[in-house]
Structure 1
């Protein structure tokens, strides 16, 4: 009975992760307690795996029937729809706060405002343009037979961007310790980060060994994704934390979005034999 109850608790946490991070229809009522939020972090890379798989299937299907430019736009739209724009909203709020160049307290107040400011819109538009251009490049090379195996790596990106969210929750202080949705994650432990890392490594291995890419040895790609995520993510998280005195729920979303673009750039550079 105890094992069954534990299994149900972890299943509830998995469902909570999908309901929180995606707009996939999962009609199950979950009581969002602090414990559920903490456990759900373990499943973030798995949620990224499912998002990545759906993106890959969309990209493969659209590239067969459309030229690379409209296909890239639709893949990007699907990417946004899958998350309901949750992380983009965090990116815009973070940009509004940090780029206001106000005091720490004023930045946090600006980020709490539900209205989007000029800097948030500018950063969001530029970010989406960057993502679109990278997707277009990837799909264009795939249609020309120059990077078909690397298209599978598109599915790996959401895995690692969401794993770093778990690492950021654990390793950087929370800027609003007694308020905000992100405060529910305060109890995330090192064990949660390690387990989610193992999930990220396992799902990445599955995609990379399926791709049979000849650009780099498989183990180099796996370690490369991990290294780029950690280095880029830690740099961005440290900068944001220095400005705000910690991270918030909005900044977790911003980190996810920015890391997705960084990893897309890395895939293009791999294909061009720059990395």
Structure 2
């Protein structure tokens, strides 16, 4: 229960505070419940979609769904996306070690550069048009299923990324997570993802999409795990390892990719 509350505390704006002294492993154990925190975000998005579609046009509803996602975690992941892209925009000096240090320094800077601002704009634009396609193509029950799963998947992807990655910094919360995430955390988070998907499959997806709904989970799992491995490799090349900002960026990018993949798969399954 303590680690579940920690996951909610770290990833959402829900006013949960875990008191007492915690070991680094206890802190990192919260990663097992990252998908659970994502499910709370997904639930908020789904409820927002239901209310907004009753009152407004689909365009306005899409805007409110994005707003609900941003507010649910205080824009933490989007901030990581901007910082990561600002850091990647640093020009190479020809010295890999110096380049990594400079990129890490840029990520600590509180100001947002042009590249980070463009990344923010493109991420919001892509989410809007992809959600608009979703709302115009599928029934409301299917839309709600996808919205509920979206942040669960994006939070789950960060768990194998932390396990396979290395820490870019010598201190900080990101270092604690990256260095102490275990196979058990991947297993527990994956089990929660599977159970939630099976519930959604039973309630709606299987009735409408049959085998397409079952194979979709296998594809999403493999796709997400590959994305985590690629992120661990890429950040090791560019930053010397993972940072908290990189994990936020991974969460944002994976949401966009899953918003692309899930509708395409379901359309082909009908």
- State the partner residue of 1:269: 264
The 3-state SS of whatever aligns with 1:100 is: coil
RMSD: 2.0
- State the partner residue of 2:215: 220
For residue 274 of structure 1, report the CA deviation from its aligned partner.
8.5
Cα 1:30/1:200, change in 2 over 3 Å = farther
1:153/1:208 contact within 8 Å kept: no
1:38/1:184 contact within 8 Å kept: yes
- Number of aligned pairs? 261
1:41/1:188 contact within 8 Å kept: yes
- State the partner residue of 2:95: none
Alpha-carbon distance in 2 for matches of 1:180, 1:117: 23
Matched, 1:253 2:248: yes
1:159/1:204 contact within 8 Å kept: no
Matched, 1:130 2:134: no
Say which is worse superposed, 77-86 or 163-172, in terms of deviation.
163-172
Alpha-carbon distance in 1 for matches of 2:175, 2:228: 20
Alpha-carbon distance in 1 for matches of 2:240, 2:130: 33
- State the partner residue of 1:106: 102
Q: Which runs of 5+ in 2 are unaligned?
A: 93-98
Matched, 1:141 2:132: no
After TM superposition, list the pairs within 5 Å mapping 1:76-91 onto structure 2: 76-91=66-81
1:55/1:154 contact within 8 Å kept: yes
Alpha-carbon distance in 2 for matches of 1:137, 1:163: 24
Alpha-carbon distance in 2 for matches of 1:93, 1:30: 31
Alpha-carbon distance in 2 for matches of 1:266, 1:31: 42
Cα 1:30/1:162, change in 2 over 3 Å = farther
Alpha-carbon distance in 2 for matches of 1:180, 1:121: 25
- State the partner residue of 1:179: 171
Alpha-carbon distance in 2 for matches of 1:134, 1:59: 14
Moved over 6 A (4+): none
Pairing partner for 1:69 from 59, 64, 70? 59
